[in-house]
Structures are given as C-alpha cells and as structure tokens.
Amino acid sequence: MSLLIKNVQILGAPREFAGGVDVFVSGDTISAIGNFPDKRADQVFDGQGAYLAPGFIDVNTDSDHYLSIFDNPAQIDFLRQGVTTIIGGQCGSSLAPLLYGSLESIQKWTDVSKVNVGWHTLEELLKILEKKPLGVNFGTFVGHSTIRRALIGESLRDLTKNELIVFTETLKRTFLEGAMGFSTGLGYVHSRETPYNEIKSLAQATKNFQGVYSTHLRKSGKELNESVDETIRISQETGVSVMINHFMPLLGAETEYEDALDSIQALSRESDFHFNLYPFETSVLPLYTFLPTWAQNGGMEVMVSNVMDSWLKERIIKDLPKINPADFVVAYTIGNDALIGQSLADLMNFYYIKDSREALIKLMQTTRLRASILYKNINAGLIRKGILHPRSMISSNAASLPLTRHAEQPERASATFSKFIKLAEVENIMPLKAAIQKITLEPARKFKLQKRGEIREGFFADLVCFKNGEIKCTVVNGHLAFKNNESQEVLAGRPLKHHGY
C-alpha cells in the first residue's frame, strides 16, 4: 500500500523544506520527501499548499476510562482534529493491570458492566488491542488507584510495608510490558490521603524505568500551590519525568495559578517537568466531587449512603459549593438518560425546587452519584498564558464516544487541537512551528515514542494536513483515515509501548 501527499508545506521536519513538497509513504513508513511529479501511488492526496505536520499526540485522554476504545474503535473525534496517538491510563485509573479482573477504578466515568474483561496484565490487554483494530495509536499509563484498590479494596488507609513491596513489583512488571508511566489521581477520594512517601517510592520506581509520573493534583483552588510544590519536590528528589494533568486556571484561584506557573518556570533546565491543558472553559467532573470533603469519606456506596441519610443530608446541603445553575450540566449518567443535557437550572424546574443546593442533592440521590458533570469553572483569560508556557502541552482530557452512547460531550472532545492550531496559525499567539512541536515532537520525546513526532524518512507515517485550523486529512500508520471532513472507515492505529528502559 502506498500513499502520495502532494504540494504541501512541511512542518515538524528535522530540516527546512521549500514550499510545494511531496511526501511518499510506503506501507506504514515515510519513504521519501521531495518533488515527485511522475511518482505513482495507490492513493494520492493533493494538499493544495496546505501545511503537513506529524500526527498530533494527545497526552491525556479518557477513551479508556469510558471504555469507548472497545465500542467506538474508530475514535473519529480524534481523527477529525488531527490526533493520531492518544495516551490513557491517567489520573490514577487504567485498564491494566487488573490483579483480580475488576474495573472499579474507572466506575466514576462509566458503566463497567458493559465490557467483558478478558485480561489481567498490561501485556494481555495490549495483545487484545493488537487483534481489535483502533482508529488511532494508543499508549497507557498504569493507574495508582487501579493497583491500590485491588490490594486493599475500598479502605482509605496507608499501605503496609509488604503491600508497598507488592505494589512496586507489580509496577515494575508493567513497565517491562510497555507502560508509558505511572499516574495518580490524588484529587479523588481513594487517593487523597495517600502519604507522600508512598508516591515518592513509586515515582522512584518509575524513574528507574525512565517512565513518566503524571498526576491529578491533590488540591486545587486556594491550595493549588501546596500540591504543585509537592509535585515539584517529587521531581527534584527522584529525578522522575513529571506531567501535571489538566492544569487549568480555576475561577477564584487565578493568583494561585499564576504563582504556580512561575514556580514551574523557575525549574532548572535539567528538570523534565510539564503540564497539560486545553483551550476551553468547561471541566468534566464526577458528580461526587461536588460533595463537601468530609462527606467523601469512603467508596461510592458509603458516599451514596451519606446523601441518602436524612440527618447527614441537611449537613451536606449547608456545605455544598455555590454553583451558578446555568453553568452546571449533566454530561452522563447510568440509567437516567433523561437527565443528560439538563442544567441545574432545568433540574430546579423539573424537581419544583427553588434552592439550587437542594436540587443538587436531589440529583445526587436520583443518580446515586453515578454521573459526570460539565461545569464552567475555568478562567478563559488565563488559559492562553498556560498555553504559551514553555512547559505546557495540549490535551483534550476527553473521550471519543459513539453516537449510540447517550452523553453530552464537551467541545474539547472534538476540537481541542484544531482550536489550538488555529490560535497559532490564524490568531498568531505563538509561532506555528513552536505550536506544532508542542503537540508532536515534545510529547513523542517525553513518552519515548519511537520514530514518531517528526516528518522524517524512515519514521512512521502519522501525518496531518491542515490550513486555517481546518483538518484536510489525517494519516495513521500510512493509511488515509480521515479526509474532506469524513472518516475513511480505516482502523490503522496500534497499541504503543514505552521503550525507555
């Protein structure tokens, strides 16, 4: 199979090319770059002077958390914005390893009963994905909560010395099987009280295998810098490569965010420290995270019991956060599809309730906390400052869901990267060449993705052609998977392994 992409301006190559260049792809590999007026190929795509860049790498995605890599293998939402590789297993939750075959660590995102688990180890999962084609390449972290909850269940306690040894050995095995790194979700109830020394010990094991430590910070808002300082300390004491996930400027904590950006900026050049963010104002949050911290005191069933208890319910209502009802929309529920797309203002009318906090507790009871929320809580003005930071990378922090899945998708699920390149190409917020490196070469190097992230002869043909922020075509492993705003129904993605050790 061969592909000829004609008349393009190349970005992301190790050397400069004049305009009107052709790229010849043989099989899954870039075979030649130059001018080939007489070259024949099985497929030809005329770029008509548009830019050609390496395929974009989304460093923080949720298609594994929502299990849509199984029921929506095409992952068209990523292809339409030029993404050819997605990284999952973030925020402490991964599909493997499963010590006892259970997916409890992702139940905050989806109905885990919808998939038949036929694997335990990461190696077994990747073999399944090799046989089950995907529209994009997929690499994964190993989730802290995934292993921890398998070891101690729903208990909120420190690990024993022997449990930490078992955890560390399990983590080491996953690196040998190809894990990109180790992730924590310290902002979630099961990990929030994890002691620093446990994280440091596991980060050190990650460093030994040249993996990346990624984290959903323990605290946000006014306490943001405490968590950023903790993460910087781990980086400095272990030397591990670090990624802070969805590092967004939350409303009410703008000063803290700017201070944190300054702290990260001040790190030495030797520090391999990054964060990721998206160019939109809306977060997607598990419903239970709106509970006061004191009511997040156990697993899901404990928290459901708390909101159902008539005495505790009154205490909870008093301590619920202040929310603009129009900025709070139900994105997903299990078994309550009629609620999806409804704002809290809509629910107040539906429930005949005047107090937004009482409507919120009613929603918690109705869904038994098994819901996700679109919540507009991000300062739009500071997003650009984060994007322009030299240690930032871009992520959608989203899933590509099938049309049959009833859910309210955030805009970032299908437009993060096209909006980002438009900011650079059309609005000139940064040089286009630097913007492309931020979403191609830099993440490829950080995650040690071999022969990806550049347009170079002998490299894998993950490519995207675009102009004025509009994606003209997306090529995955040499296959034209998306062009002229339509899926080509080609599943050419592969599971990717980390090769840093």
Chain center to CA of 256: 23
Locus of tokens 């859910």: 407
Which two tokens mark 98? 């499963």
Query: Helix axis angle, 310-319 relative to 356-367, nearest 10°?
Result: 130
DSSP 8-state secondary structure symbol assigned to residue 19: S
Interhelix angle 310-319/300-308, nearest 10 degrees: 100
Tokens of 421: 């390149």
pLDDT for the residue numbered 57: 98
What local confidence, expressed as pLDDT, does residue 501 receive?
Answer: 44
Residue 268 corresponds to which amino acid? Answer: S
Residue 329 and residue 374 in contact, taking contact as beta carbons nearer than 8 Å: yes
d(CA 5, CA 464) in angstroms, rounded, equals: 10
Percent of the chain at pLDDT > 90 equals 88
CA gap 302, 304 in Å, rounded? 5
Q: Is the pLDDT of residue 101 over 80?
A: no
pLDDT of residue 500: 56
Residue 408: name the closest of 345, 331, 329, 328 by CA: 331
Token digits for 57? 């790498």
Q: Tens digit of pLDDT for each residue in 263-321? A: 999 999 999 999 999 999 999 999 999 999 999 987 888 999 999 999 999 999 999 99
pLDDT digits (tens, 9 = 90+) for 403-424: 878 888 999 999 999 999 999 9
Domains, the chain, ordered by start: 56-281+378-410 (3.20.20.140), 286-375 (no CATH)
CB 128 within 8 A of CB 118: yes
Q: What tokens were used for 495?
A: 């599971």
155: pLDDT strictly greater than 90:
no
Q: Where are the beta strands (DSSP E) in 93-211?
A: 137-140, 142-143, 181-185
Say if CB 203 and CB 184 are below 8 A apart: no
Average pLDDT over residues 88-101: 94
Which amino acid would we find at residue 151?
A: L
What pLDDT score was predicted for residue 492? 97
- The Cα 444–Cα 442 span in angstroms is 5
Query: Both tokens of residue 266?
Result: 């001040």
Q: Are 48 and 19 spatial neighbours (Cβ–Cβ below 8 Å)?
A: no
Instruction: For residue 492, give the amino acid letter.
Output: A
Q: Does residue 249 have a cis bond before it (omega within 30 degrees)?
A: no
Over range 477-501, report the average pLDDT: 90
Spatial distance between the Cα atoms of 115 and 56, rounded to a whole number of angstroms: 29
Torsion angle, alpha carbons of 241, 242, 243, 249, to 10: -150
Give the three-class secondary structure for 413: helix
Between residues 127 and 109, the one the model is more confident about: 127
Tokens linked to 62: 């949720």
- H or E segment to which residue 277 belongs: strand 273-277
* Average pLDDT score over residue span 21-48: 96
Report pLDDT for 115. 85
Mean pLDDT of the chain: 95
Neighbouring residues of 37: CB distance < 8 A, sequence distance ≥ 6: none
